[in-house]
Amino acid sequence: GARFPRPDETRVFTVANQKGGVGKTTTAVNLAAALAESGLHVLVVDNDPQGNASTALGIDHHAGVLSTYDALINDVPLSDIVQASPANENLLCVPATIDLSGAEIELVSVVARENRLRLALRAYLEHRTREGLPRLDYVFVDCPPSLGLLTVNAFVAAEEVLIPIQCEYYALEGLSQLLSNIDLIRAHLNQELHVSTILLTMNDSRTNLAREVVGEVREHFPEQTLRTAIPRSVRISEAPSYGQTVIAYDPMSSGALAYLEAAREIARRGSAHTRGEELRVATG
């Protein structure tokens, strides 16, 4: 059985930060792998045209493979699109192909354009129930580094937002814009959405700067910030080139252990943890 508690219902996370290179994809795939490793059923939706999450999970995503694009634009059910990760049959992925780069524009003229991913995901959860497949415990939607329609779709499909913050100078820059966008989504499109989780990434605890950033983030977001920070680790950055998460690639490495610990925290504290908190950040 699972070592981490199963949630009462499927928890859907959007992993977002409009900055690139802060660890969104690394966080989405490694938390997903850590939870799947403990026996839970997990889906990663690759919602970034770069397809980095698909690559990291060892999922085929060459042009022509059914992908997130087909769900958003062509009404293809996710049940026809999902692939299981070669490392773990409980770890599923909706891959992204290069097609998705056009979706941001094509979505503009689609009916209910903000709701596409939510509807696709709901239909898939119902499909699994109908087919007698195990209920999904976690869904992670990996977002591109922008606040466009792809990210809006992810915000509308989720209840929880997970924001990775890189432990470096300007870490909090851009965060007020992200939070006010989330407020807008909550006001107009999805009342349930809230920032439940902040994860400090690429931490180098030997530097004063990283220590200052960690302190500042914890001060601003005491309830949301996980106690576990992810260290900067070569093994984490090597794993994707083998089509593996660090959980599979080097399970005893500091990076793998940190993601396992972060996943445990997320599982233990549950979804009600931070619901209803208003987040503000005073920067610059």
Name the site residues for Mg ion (rule: CB under 5 A): 24-25, 52
What's the closest the beta carbon of residue 225 comes to Mg ion, in angstroms? 21
- Name the residue nearer to ligand ADP (CB basis): 20 or 270: 20
**On the CB side of 16, how many CA atoms lie within 13 Å of its CA?**
32
What's the closest the beta carbon of residue 269 comes to Mg ion, in angstroms? 25
What's the closest the beta carbon of residue 24 comes to Mg ion, in angstroms? 5
- Spell 236-257 as b/e; 16+ CB within 10 A means b: beebbeebbbbbbbbeebbbbb
- Name the residue nearer to ligand ADP (CB basis): 18 or 271: 18
Choose the one of ligand ADP, Mg ion, none that binds residue 202, judging by a C-beta under 5 to 8 angstroms depending on kind. Answer: ligand ADP
What's the closest the beta carbon of residue 52 comes to ligand ADP, in angstroms? 5
Choose the one of ligand ADP, Mg ion, none that binds residue 7, judging by a C-beta under 5 to 8 angstroms depending on kind. Answer: none
Q: How far apart are CA 276 and CA 194, in angstroms?
A: 7
Alpha carbon 255 to its chain's center: 17
- Name the residue nearer to ligand ADP (CB basis): 52 or 197: 52
Matching residue, tokens 């610059």: 284
What's the closest the beta carbon of residue 28 comes to Mg ion, in angstroms? 8
Question: Which residues here bind ligand ADP, judged by CB under 6 A?
Answer: 20-26, 52, 145, 201-202, 230, 232-233, 236-237, 240, 255
Choose the one of Mg ion, ligand ADP, none that binds residue 21, judging by a C-beta under 5 to 8 angstroms depending on kind. Answer: ligand ADP
- Name the residue nearer to ligand ADP (CB basis): 20 or 102: 20
Choose the one of ligand ADP, Mg ion, none that binds residue 86, judging by a C-beta under 5 to 8 angstroms depending on kind. Answer: none
Q: Is 186 exposed, middle or buried (0-12, 13-18, 19+ CB in 10 A)?
A: middle
- Name the residue nearer to ligand ADP (CB basis): 125 or 246: 246
Q: How far apart are CA 236 and CA 229, in angstroms?
A: 14
Choose the one of ligand ADP, Mg ion, none that binds residue 230, judging by a C-beta under 5 to 8 angstroms depending on kind. Answer: ligand ADP
Choose the one of Mg ion, ligand ADP, none that binds residue 237, judging by a C-beta under 5 to 8 angstroms depending on kind. Answer: ligand ADP
Q: How far apart are CA 184 and CA 233, in angstroms?
A: 36
- Name the residue nearer to ligand ADP (CB basis): 42 or 125: 42
Choose the one of Mg ion, ligand ADP, none that binds residue 22, judging by a C-beta under 5 to 8 angstroms depending on kind. Answer: ligand ADP
- Name the residue nearer to Mg ion (CB basis): 152 or 267: 152
What's the closest the beta carbon of residue 102 comes to ligand ADP, in angstroms? 20
What's the closest the beta carbon of residue 244 comes to ligand ADP, in angstroms? 12
Written as six digits, the tokens of 246 are: 């660090």
